Amino acid sequence: MKIAIASGKGGTGKTTLSTNLAAYIAQTHPVVLADLDVEEPNSGLFLSGSPIATEDKFKMVPSWDAEKCIHCGNCQKVCNFNAIISLPKIVMVFEKLCHSCYACAELCPAKALTMVPEKIGTLKAYKQGNLHFVESRLDIGQEMAVPLIGQTESWLNDHFPDALLLLDSPPGTSCPVIEATKDVDFVILVTEPTPFGLHDLTLAVETMTTLKKEFGVVINRHRETGDIVEQYCEQNDIPVLACIADSRLVAELYSQGKMMYKSVPDMQQALDNIIRFLHLPGGRQ
Amino acid sequence: MKEIVVISGKGGTGKTSITAALTYVGRGEILAADCDVDAADMHLLLAPDFGKPTDFYSGVIAKIDTEACISCGKCKAVCRFDAISIIDDKYVVSPLDCEGCGYCARVCPRDAITTPEQNVGQWFISTTRLQNQLVHARLGIGTENSGKLVAKVKAEARSLAIEKDIPYVLVDGSPGIGCPVISSLSGADYVVLVTEPTVSGLHDMRRVHQLLKQFNLPCGCVINKADLNPEFSRKIEGFLQDENIDLLARMPYHPDFTEAITQGKTIVELDGSELPEKIEILWNTIKSKLEE
């Protein structure tokens, strides 16, 4: 089973929930947590383990052979991403803009462009007890997160085909989130009961509805009375899996990079509720 | 005209609250631009009139005319994104997987594939309740090209500021380090990093700062929620010193941040806290940095 933990707005508690849920389940059962927020991966700050794998990840970009080039200009013409410019004497490749479609190389009449790998990031995997943790980080200056997210998911499918997989997803509603959530069985949307949280949640709900995903909401920094997110979920028949009360203690523990389920009863209760709702292993039965 | 871009690396550090508050105190001289197009929230505090909406087209998605298609399979063979599949004996494109490279259309022997431009969102030139202008956008669900929409919002904001002789463009950037962020940084005169004293706040700021170094952009830092973890605040200050980054302000962990959002106001419009004065000083500090 694959579960994504996502949110429209950043900073609502995605990583807190992902790491605590993974560590809590791992007390008794095997689980894999993958951090797919490759631009700013944070899950690893809260977990430790022994490294079991490190792999550089690449995307394919064209490399120009001056000797073979007949300067026909076809490469520039077929590139929809302005990643290749054919000047009278040279051809310039802008690797960061390249989407690796291969059109320029395969349609070059002189075979003057070959596709070569360019490093975009690094995948690392760790193990501690029942918990496997996988993290990919995008190299600074690389613009596209999607290829690295896709490759990380393939790696997970190869290495953990039948595992319980939790995916800490990137924030927002655009291409990185789609890539991270499109193959999952369920999406947990983490939000907070402010107009910002609610506004971005409605965008996330629209995204998941478009993707035809089953989803539920976890309200972080929950308010006992007049919680606008709770009201929204009720009106729209969206299941609220759990609520975590607003507290300075939680914020302080987070600031120190500490796990919360052991010291914050509310967090443990929330995790139990999620485990029960999704029929996951572990938790207090 | 000078352009100031506010970014954070990590989400939820208070970037938008602080940007909106700065817009309030400098409302006579600031044109605001919301470049966090993925999750644009400034409008919730500034109540713009969503004036002059314009559709934004960028990128293409392949479309197969099943009548003209002869099922030769060439399109499927060249697609690197597994975006073409056979459903009920017909070749179809999955719009969510299509990258818009157009390779399939180029190899189709029957010209059965078209690549229409995609409407990826809308942008607006609005007047806010503060009577200043806000350029902002709404990105379509699951669309690509948010970097291009960011570039559009910025370009419109700049030309409007020049036209109306407004001295400062203040940009609310997006989280992360990828294409929308890189796009929002281009042409910036000064970058304000908003961080928080948490392990993630420091980690994410380090990464985004490395990006700023690649672009050689001058920057300063606001430590928000500074009293949440004094030890980490000191760590951040140490990092700022080592990297020669201006410490612009320390803001407290204050309930007014949430309260202001709830009331649809900026933090400087609530009475009885030290926040208005701190933001006023912050705005003057940023302006003086631009003079240096």
Q: Are residues B149 and B274 in the same domain?
A: yes
Q: What is the mean pLDDT of residues B62-81?
A: 97
Number of domains in chain B: 2
Structural domain ending residue among the three candidates A111, A141, A175? A111
Q: Is the Cβ of A85 closer than 8 Å to some Cβ of chain B?
A: no
Q: Are residues B76 and B209 in the same domain?
A: no
Would you say residue B142 has pLDDT above 80?
no
Q: Are residues A186 and A91 in the same domain?
A: no
Distance CA B154, CA B160 (A): 10
The complex scores an ipTM of: 0.92
Q: Are residues A161 and A85 in the same domain?
A: no
Confidence at B229, pLDDT banded by 50, 70, 90: very high
Torsion of CA B251, B253, B256, B259, to 10 degrees: 130
Confidence at B140, pLDDT banded by 50, 70, 90: confident
Is residue A90 domain-resident?
Answer: yes
Q: Name the phi and psi angles at B196, rounded to 5.
A: -135, 150
Report the pLDDT value the prediction gives residue B276, as an integer from 0 to 100: 97
CB B126 within 8 A of CB B51: yes
**Other beta carbons less than 10 A from residue A17's beta carbon:** 26
Q: Which of residues 115-134 of A touch B (CB under 8 A)?
A: none
In the chain, the amino acid numbered A25 is I
Would you say residue B144 has pLDDT above 80?
no
CA-closest candidate to residue B278, choices B249, B238, B243: B249
Strands B117-127 and B54-60: antiparallel
Select the residue from B104, B114, B202, B258 to test the A interface by mutation, using most A Cβ atoms within 10 A. Answer: B258
Strand, coil or helix: what is A180? helix
Looking up residue B96, the CATH number of its domain turns out to be 3.30.70.20
Q: Are residues B227 and B165 in the same domain?
A: yes
Q: Are residues B83 and B156 in the same domain?
A: no
Distance CA A210, CA A107 (A): 35
Structural domain ending residue among the three candidates B92, B115, B138? B115
Confidence at B98, pLDDT banded by 50, 70, 90: very high
Distance CA A34, CA A129 (A): 16
Q: Are residues A51 and A71 in the same domain?
A: no
Is residue A239 domain-resident?
Answer: yes
Looking up residue A36, the CATH number of its domain turns out to be 3.40.50.300
CB A196 within 8 A of CB B16: yes
Token pair of B48 as six digits: 């713009």
CB B171 within 8 A of CB B184: yes
Could you list the residue range(s) of the whole structural domain that residue B83 is in?
A: 62-115
CB A23 within 8 A of CB A261: yes
Q: Are residues B131 and B268 in the same domain?
A: yes
Distance CA A265, CA A242 (A): 13
Ranges of chain A whose pLDDT falls below 50:
none
B39 → closest Cβ in A42, A203, A210 = A203
CB A63 within 8 A of CB A91: no
Q: Are residues A49 and A185 in the same domain?
A: yes
Q: Are residues B17 and B41 in the same domain?
A: yes
Q: Is the Cβ of B141 closer than 8 Å to some Cβ of chain A?
A: yes
Q: Are residues B191 and B145 in the same domain?
A: yes
Distance CA A176, CA A186 (A): 17
Task: Mark yes or no for CB contact A9/B262 under 8 Å.
Answer: no
CA-closest candidate to residue A121, choices A135, A147, A139: A139
Would you say residue B148 has pLDDT above 70?
yes
Q: Are residues B45 and B85 in the same domain?
A: no
Token pair of B58 as six digits: 């960028």
Q: Are residues A201 and A232 in the same domain?
A: yes
- Residue B127 burial (10 A CB sphere; 0-12, 13-18, 19+): middle
Q: Are residues A12 and A129 in the same domain?
A: yes
Distance CA A191, CA B91 (A): 39
Using alpha carbons only, give the angle B17, B141, A122 rounded to the nearest 5 degrees. 80
Please give, rounded to a whole number of angstroms, the shortest distance from the CA of B58 to a CA of chain A: 11
CA B230 to chain CA centroid, Å, is 29
Number of domains in chain A: 2
Q: Are residues B110 and B124 in the same domain?
A: no
Task: Mark yes or no for CB contact B101/A101 under 8 Å.
Answer: yes
- Residue B149 burial (10 A CB sphere; 0-12, 13-18, 19+): buried
* Gyration radius from chain A CA atoms: 22
Q: What is the mean pLDDT of residues B2-22?
A: 96
Burial B31-63 (b: 16+ CB within 10 A, else e): bbbbbbbbbbbbbbbbbbeeeeeeebebbbbbb
Task: Mark yes or no for CB contact A172/B39 under 8 Å.
Answer: yes
Q: Is the Cβ of B217 closer than 8 Å to some Cβ of chain A?
A: no
Q: Are residues A94 and A182 in the same domain?
A: no
A174 → closest Cβ in B11, B144, B203 = B144
Q: Are residues B93 and B212 in the same domain?
A: no
Helix, strand, coil percentages in chain A from 3-state DSSP, rounded to 5: 35, 30, 40
Q: Are residues A143 and A210 in the same domain?
A: yes
pLDDT tens-digit profile of A197-238?
Answer: 999 999 999 999 999 999 999 999 998 888 999 999 999 999
Distance between start and end Cα atoms, chain B: 15
HSE-CB for B73 with a 13 A CA cutoff: 3
Distance CA B267, CA B2 (A): 24
Q: Are residues B51 and B143 in the same domain?
A: yes
Q: Which of residues 154-173 of A touch B (CB under 8 A)?
A: 170-173
Task: Mark yes or no for CB contact B103/A255 under 8 Å.
Answer: no
Report the pLDDT value the prediction gives residue A176, as an integer from 0 to 100: 92
Report the pLDDT value the prediction gives residue A248, as an integer from 0 to 100: 87
Token pair of A112 as six digits: 């003057």
Looking up residue A96, the CATH number of its domain turns out to be 3.30.70.20
Q: Are residues A86 and A146 in the same domain?
A: no
Could you list the residue range(s) of the whole structural domain that residue A104 is in?
A: 66-111
- Residue B12 burial (10 A CB sphere; 0-12, 13-18, 19+): buried
Looking up residue B33, the CATH number of its domain turns out to be 3.40.50.300
Report the pLDDT value the prediction gives residue A285, as an integer from 0 to 100: 64
Q: Are residues A53 and A163 in the same domain?
A: yes
Q: Are residues A52 and A72 in the same domain?
A: no
Structural domain ending residue among the three candidates B115, B137, B153? B115
User: In sequence order, which ranges of chain A are alpha helices (DSSP H)?
Assistant: 14-26, 74-78, 103-106, 146-159, 175-181, 195-210, 228-235, 248-255, 265-277
Task: Mark yes or no for CB contact A255/B176 under 8 Å.
Answer: no
Distance CA B95, CA B84 (A): 9
CB A270 within 8 A of CB A188: no
Place of tokens 């050689």: B216
A-chain CB neighbours of B264 within 8 Å are: 195
Confidence at B141, pLDDT banded by 50, 70, 90: confident
Structural domain ending residue among the three candidates B115, B139, B154? B115
Residue A217, beta-bridge partner list: A189, A240
Q: Are residues B150 and B285 in the same domain?
A: yes
In the chain, the amino acid numbered B69 is C
A-chain CB neighbours of B253 within 8 Å are: 248, 251
Report the pLDDT value the prediction gives residue B168, as an integer from 0 to 100: 98
Q: Are residues A79 and A204 in the same domain?
A: no
Distance CA B147, CA A174 (A): 11
CB A147 within 8 A of CB A120: yes
CB A164 within 8 A of CB A281: yes
